[in-house]
Structure 1
């Protein structure tokens, strides 16, 4: 993240006057950037980088009090995805979404989404501290470790949990907008696998059927209706993206890009079971009205 401040360097060059707009109570209002840096450094130890994208960098870290593993995400403020509340004030969509999902986790005891632990307003950047499931790896690396192809039964375990996660998001009117292999973690718990969702950087609050006109997310996986109509909705788009994930799990070394699928350069392989092929077709319908809903997919025979 060029131009951002390194926590291992001094605060020179960080703007102490720049303020983040109202987001959630997690942001510490009334404290200076220097005070927040000091609080952050006292509470967390930042380690090696986990990944880097167009909007920021994510580092491994530990909570000093108990060595609890965390992920520390640095985002340039100019790239923070913001929405406007009913009072006309801007807020960080990612923080608001993750705060709502973390509250759900506190009530129910479990959530597919990683928990948001802390948020810091550090001058030119916003820093999010989240839980870091350990051991785990993203689904892209997990797939590569299995030679780029999973058997149906294996993929079914993952997709079943992804659908449950999607249903959880819908209950809270949360639209992730960027479900793909890299944004799905596979956490190992003995012989069992647990699916976790990460990177809510372009997420927003939206009713499942509300139409959006500005696309956010990975262009490769944009839904067909955005190409043809210039509009898309949370429910059908989430189902489309879940379908692309399953397609990639079951078709070796394939990227289920929307344009490739529309031009029939990608085909569902005939060696899959009839129920699995039907499940994929219900996810990857070109017309959004033809796709199944998340709840309908949860009842699909292939999963049972």
Structure 2
């Protein structure tokens, strides 16, 4: 179950300690111990799954990606609408907690970290989608996530409108996206895969509210963190990875924010870094000069010359 402190309540998700041999004789053989451990794990898995099924009702399929599949559902006690994400165990990474050496699934750790720094301390109060509950089973990890109703991802929002949004509407969405990215940066979280499909818009009011989803590829960063293996959408790889085989969090996030803005305003053309660098993709001449300037700054090839997120937020187009 979800706790305000990620160190609390995690023992049920951890393997048991070593068993002590019987005082009489030599104790059970290694094979017997392995079989006993297997039975214990299977029993724990059944209990955990039974608890999940008792608390939540799974419904229809919502979508899937590289890290798992997602279903609509609701919490039985109060009909809270949720998204239920199933992640195969072989796709699950774990992060060790420094305080007591317990391990949490990395995506759970990331979402709990984001949850704990929210000013209100409650799910639903900031742009990153909230973690409601989670279950660590033998074959899979199950995450129970917020599911705002009504809502749709940004890609479907643009396509359902039949045309690219006007700059004023795109500006409202991009401001929220940059604010969300700054929030992650302040929390030392690198999303790694910001794109239209990972942006959810709550559509129940006149102004769409942005929610950032899918932290399956996210990681904790420091100012000196550099990466060589790219995790994310291949078409959105920043150019520095091609030239130096390394990339960093801030400049990559700014590049991907530019990708989102480009895709919003060029409905029939999806961004691709290599095509853009080869001049096969160009920014529409119909856009305002300030908008074109913002895109140009996001797509600066040298990451050291690319603006920081806080600088981007002060761009004239966003004022």
State the TM-score, normalized to the length of structure 1: 0.88
Deviations 1:138-159 (A, max 9, x none): 0110010122411110100000
Aligned to 2:69: 57
CA contact (8 A) 1:186 1:196 kept: yes
Alignment partner of 1:66 out of 59, 65, 78: 78
User: C-alpha distance in 2, partners of 1:242/1:70?
Assistant: 27
In 1, the alpha carbon distance for the partners of 2:262 and 2:135 equals: 38
Q: Could you say if the C-alpha distance between residues 227 and 26 of structure 1 is closer, same or farther in structure 2, counting changes exceeding 3 Å? A: farther
Q: State which of 79, 103, 120 in structure 2 corresponds to 1:107.
A: 120
**C-alpha distance in 2 between matches for 1:281 and 1:81:** 36
Deviations along 1:81-119, whole A, 9 cap, x unmatched? 344565887542211110111122363652101110111
Indicate the structure (1 or 2) with the bigger Cα radius of gyration.
Answer: 2
CA contact (8 A) 1:77 1:124 kept: yes
Task: Identify the residue that residue 46 of structure 1 maps to in structure 2.
Answer: 58
Q: 1:167 aligns with which of 148, 162, 182?
A: 182
Q: CA deviation at 1:253?
A: 1.0
Task: After superposition, give the CA deviation of every residue in 1:7-62 in whole Å (9 maximum; x if it has no partner).
Answer: xxxxxxxxxxxxxxxx8546434781111111111110000010022331100000
Is contact 1:81–1:201 with CA below 8 Å preserved after alignment?
A: no
Matched, 1:291 2:291: no
Deviation (angstroms), 1:220: 1.0
Separation of aligned partners in 1, 2:224 and 2:308 = 11
Question: Which residue in 2 is equivalent to 1:265?
Answer: 280
SS at match of 1:130: strand
User: Superposition pairs for residues 244-255 of structure 1, below 5 Å?
Assistant: 244-255=259-270
2:293 is the counterpart of 1:278: yes
CA distance in 2, matches of 1:250, 1:203: 27
Shift in Å at residue 120 of structure 1?
0.4
How much does 1:80 deviate?
1.2
RMSD: 1.9
Where 2:164 maps in the other structure, the secondary structure is coil
Per mean C-alpha deviation after superposition, the further-off stretch among 105-114 and 275-284 is: 105-114
The answer (yes or no) to whether the contact 2:149–2:204 under 8 Å persists in 1 is no
Go from structure 1 to structure 2 and tell me whether the alpha carbon gap of 1:159 and 1:232 turns closer, same or farther (over 3 Å shift): same
Moved more, 200-209 or 285-294: 200-209
Change (3 A) 1:33 1:24: farther
- The whole-number CA distance in structure 1 between the counterparts of 2:239 and 2:163 is 25
Distance 1:90 1:232, change over 3 A: farther
* Alpha carbons of structure 1 residues 103 and 88: separation in structure 2 relative to 1, 3 Å: closer
Alignment-derived partner of residue 14 in structure 1: none
1:245-285 CA distances to partner (integer Å, 9 max, x unpaired)? 00011113111111111101111112211111111111111
Residue 46 and residue 24 in structure 1: after superposition, are their counterparts in 2 closer, same or farther (change >3 A)? farther
What is the aligned length?
Answer: 282
Aligned to 2:209: 194
2:74 partner SS: strand
Indicate if the aligned counterparts of 1:47 and 1:61 stay in contact, CA closer than 8 A: yes
Name the residue aligned to 1:126.
Answer: 141
